Amino acid sequence: MHRRTALGGALTALATAAAGILVAATVSTTPAVAAASGTGTGYLHTSGNKIVDSTGATVRLTGINWFGMETDNKTFHGLWSSNTWRGQLDTMARLGYNTLRIPYSNDSIKPGATATGINDFVNPDLIGLSPLQILDKVIDYAGSKGMRVILDRHRPTSAGQSPLWYTSGVSEATWIADWKTMAQRYANNPTVIGADLHNEPHAEGTNPAATGACWGCGDTARDWRLAAERAGNAILGVQPNWLIFVEGVSCPSGGLSNVWDNDPSNDEDCGWWGGNLSKAGQFPVRLNVANRLVYSPHEYATSVYRQAWFDDPSYPANMPAIWDHYWGYLYKQNIAPIMMGEFGTTLQDPKDKIWLENLMAYTGTGVNGMSFTYWSWNPNSGDTGGIANDDWTTVNQAKQSILQPYLIPPSGSGNPNPTPTGTGSPTATPTSSPTATPTTPAPSGGCTASYKQINAWAGGFQGELTVKNTGTGAVNPWSVTWAWPSGVTLQSGWNATVTQSGTTVTAAAPGWSPSLAAGASVTVGFTANGTAASPATVKLNSATC
């Protein structure tokens, strides 16, 4: 998305993501196979409405968009800031985003493409690299943290989005050939799990003279469902392990209703660009490899466009039925998984906060909920803002607090760069496997602890426990324990490997940062089920804080 609008009863929307085409090259990358929780093991596939890993375990993608490759910069935005590119990924993983959706344009992957807008002092390792070489580095580092990556062909060129998957300058043949090249480039790296074929196909022209993307109309030049089959099957011919993410359209006919002619017969059921999958049940996307299809709608709030449903007297009670109609039925009827590829808001209108809270509740909690990638990490998304603030380092806590209960942190091999440069703080990638309790003696002099409740909701809460080593020596490896009242149970944790046994919670040091120096502090974040309660009987190893 970059900007979206809608038209009267036709309810179309302009979005802010980017589409991209591919460049030939084979890259020697180091595959990062995620651990068996969070983002799963090996490549992913589908089973009914679930995404599952190579062992059959259910995986929920709870990710974020980081855009820029689709723009004139041809690389990630925010590389101009004082935070390193690694520091930004560290923060995303720490917050619990286990998947990165990366928009790009065909321009950014052409031979000779040049990346601009990079702070060479902060990111000296990116000097002279092409956009694809920078993408390689981001994918490798994200994979080392247990994150997964979805590539999003956002735009044919950096000039802007297109209603169809091809333009006069970028043919369908080029679109498919570039996708095949990208699939080959990352064929041996399971960090990259799939292709979002084209961003936000949408209506154009006024009915009955429609010229935009339709669904199920049978016109091969405009039927997005048929085009998705052609591209998806071509990609699977090269990389049969990828998931194929297919967005919706805006109006199934491919044309805008003429809402000014007072003729209701010309009006039809239209929604957000890319957000209307109402015909996918009747006209499903058919792929040659079974269990690879994921439907990926987009959904936005009033800061993008004030759709009629936001002013319905029953709002927000009317929203679940709208979501059911456009895309939720695919999940509820066990037809296919849903991965909501974009959704976002500035939260400036009170209705938007209600929208986001209700939308997240609609997706469901825990690993069995619908997958999603929030729009966006970038603070420079004009009509949504970002999770990152304008410094590209600190976080918009109002948004993060709403999303946090639904995030499942990535599970990976840890941070290979324990002392990153720049302002990005190192972060752990928690796993669900228990860790043995360290036996290092308590620090001489003890510890102090402080607790901050970040958020609370019906049936759960989010908090941060900060523990400082006030002793005279380092604690290596460190472990923090605390007690909760009966009935309070851990949902997720970060900055440590957090587990619970009975009423005792243990936060064990991550492998990449096992030592807590004298005078140093560690902050363990978590979400929990039950009535909000402060940690009690906090200990650093065996020292009571």
Catalytic residue positions, numbered: 200, 342
CA distance 62 to 410: 9
Give, to the nearest 10 degrees, the angle between helix 85-95 and helix 131-144: 40
Structure tokens, 370: 């619908």
Residues 6+ away with beta carbon under 8 Å from 162: 19, 155, 156
Question: Taking a C-beta distance cutoff of 8 angstroms, is the pair 537, 480 a contact?
Answer: no
Burial class of residue 218, CB neighbours in 10 A (0-12, 13-18, 19+): exposed
Sign of CA dihedral 259, 261, 264, 266: negative
Residue 497 backbone dihedrals phi, psi, to 5 degrees? -90, 105
Pairing state between β 339-340 and 371-374: parallel
The pair of structure tokens assigned to 541 is: 């190893």
Copy the structure tokens of residue 433. Answer: 């496997």
- Residues contacting residue 339 through CB under 8 Å, at least 6 positions apart: 51, 61, 150, 245, 294, 295, 296, 370, 371, 372, 373
Distances from the Cα of 149 to the Cαs of 139, 190, 268, 381, in angstroms?
7, 9, 36, 20
Please give the backbone phi and psi of residue 337, each rounded to the nearest 5 degrees, phi first: -70, 155
Please state, in angstroms and rounded to a whole number, the distance separating the CA atoms of residues 355 and 345: 9
Task: Check if the beta carbon of residue 490 is closer than 8 Å to that of residue 481.
Answer: no
Three-state secondary structure of 95-109: HCCCEEEEEEEHHHH
Nearest C-alpha neighbor of 163 from the set 295, 313, 270, 323:
270
Residues in CB range of 49: below 8 A, 6 or more apart: 330, 331, 332, 334, 335, 336, 337, 338
